[in-house]
Amino acid sequence: MLTRFFLPAAGVLFIAPVIVAQDAPDETIKALVGRLQLQRYKETIRGLTRFGDRRQGTDRNRAALDWIEAQLKSYGCAPAERIHYNYAPPAQNGRGGRGGRGGRGSAPGGAVIKGERGPVGVNNDPNLQPDQRLRELNAQPSTPGPREEVFCTKIGSTHPEEMYIVGAHFDGIGWGEAANDDGSGTALVMEVARVLSSPDVTTERSVRFALWNNEETGLNGARAYVEQRKDLQGKEDPPGSGKYPEPKWLGMIQHDMMLFDHGMPRRDGTVSDHQRPEADVNIEFQSRSKFAAQAQELAWAFRDANEKYATDYPAQVGNHMTNTDSTPFMDLTAAISLRELERGPEIGAGWDPTHHQPIDVYSHYSDGDFRLGLNAAQTTLGAIAHLAGAKLKETATNQR
């Protein structure tokens, strides 16, 4: 907190920091966050990497979707439902990736790129993947046509007509395993779903866990969800049933690349092999959105949860959210994203050399990297448990 003093003699505004005691962590939420484990998080990412890069429009993408759905059901997050839509790729723009990514020197979301930069882009050359198994696994090309994505919902006990959406995209590109982009975010959402779907947990408001498809082609899966379901919000169906197929959106929280914060590239474009000690979780909202004020408030709530419940890494708030699946929601509800780095000035400047590259494989990352993702999960679970009113049944004695 900052307190402002005006000094008449000097004619200046002096801003002095005032230390205010934070509210103590909620013991119930602390217990829930304690159910997140580094090893489980890693194993969920590893499970996703069995399907290679999970490029949309391929058998490996469809197999990954089936696996994700089965895992959600095993957690008790049921029924699991699917969104169906059709994807037809736009005319080729010569870049091989989704349009609007931006090349070297671009700054998506209105951010300004400063300092040293590394190379950016999408690898489309299978010969750059040294692992023959992965080359074969990722060999099937994407084809246009029907697409699916999955979600499941924790129904609120007192306000089932309202919900928060917690999301990540499960498709990837680059001829690797998409372990970070976005296995790390998908695993985070699945782990939060596992904890909140436990039979000894109730939430006052509903929480939906959504795993988007077609993010890499231009957020098509999230856009399809918004188009199909935005007008269904808060409508009881059938009337008088107390059931709300699409509760009113209170906020949408996206998770996209959670592991890698190794610092600014050197002058030669290379990046350190080690997670930097000052690594943090980046919470972003978009200041140009129609719900900017509400999104900023949501972002600060997540930062507060990070201070209370994350074990290793802090969080910071930024206002340049862009190029992720929260974007289609941002003019309809409070929307934020959690990332390893700032999307514009850092990822856009090549701070993560694994981005869309063959080296985005499980074995490339250390426990320091995975722990950053776990801290993001702790942040999200802490915030959502508070916002949705999570409670533990008094008779529960065992933790999952």
For 63-86, what is the mean pLDDT? 97
Q: Is residue 160 part of a domain?
A: yes
For 336-350, what is the mean pLDDT? 95
CA atoms within 13 A on the CB side of 333: 22
| Share of the chain residues as helix, strand and coil, in percent rounded to the nearest 5 | 30, 20, 50
Q: What are phi and psi of 162, to 5 degrees?
A: -125, 145
The yes-or-no verdict on residue 114 having pLDDT over 80 is: no
Identity of the amino acid at 315: A
Q: Is residue 317 part of a domain?
A: yes
Structure confidence at residue 25 (pLDDT): 86
Q: Is residue 276 part of a domain?
A: yes
Contact 280, 314 (CB under 8 A): yes
pLDDT band at 1 (very low <50, low <70, confident <90, very high): very low
Number of H helices, E strands in the chain: 8, 12
pTM above 0.75, yes or no: yes
The yes-or-no verdict on residue 7 having pLDDT over 70 is: no
Q: Comparing C-alpha atoms, which of 345, 400, 369, 378 is closest to residue 116?
A: 345
Q: Is residue 8 part of a domain?
A: no
Q: Is residue 357 part of a domain?
A: yes
pLDDT band at 16 (very low <50, low <70, confident <90, very high): very low
Computed over every residue of the chain, the mean pLDDT equals 90
Please give the Cα distance from 110 to 397 (Å, whole number). 49
Structure confidence at residue 11 (pLDDT): 41
pLDDT band at 283 (very low <50, low <70, confident <90, very high): very high
Alpha-helical runs (H) found in 12-161: 27-33, 38-49, 59-74, 132-137
For 73-101, what is the mean pLDDT? 77
Three-class DSSP category at 98: coil
Q: pLDDT exceeding 90 applies to what percent of the chain?
A: 83
Contact 400, 36 (CB under 8 A): no
Q: Is residue 4 part of a domain?
A: no
- The pLDDT tens digits of the residues spanning 309-323 come to 999 999 999 999 999
Q: What are phi and psi of 110, to 5 degrees?
A: 90, 5
CATH code of the domain containing 229? 3.40.630.10
- The pLDDT tens digits of the residues spanning 166-203 come to 999 999 999 999 999 999 999 999 999 999 999 999 99
Task: State the total domains in the chain.
Answer: 1
The yes-or-no verdict on residue 384 having pLDDT over 60 is: yes
- The pLDDT tens digits of the residues spanning 223-278 come to 999 999 999 999 999 999 999 999 999 999 999 999 999 999 999 999 999 999 99
Q: Is residue 17 part of a domain?
A: no
Q: Which domain holds residue 112?
A: 25-392
Please give the Cα distance from 389 to 380 (Å, whole number). 14
Contact 186, 178 (CB under 8 A): no
More confident site: 21 or 173: 173
Distances (CA, A) of 325 to 27, 94, 221: 32, 23, 8
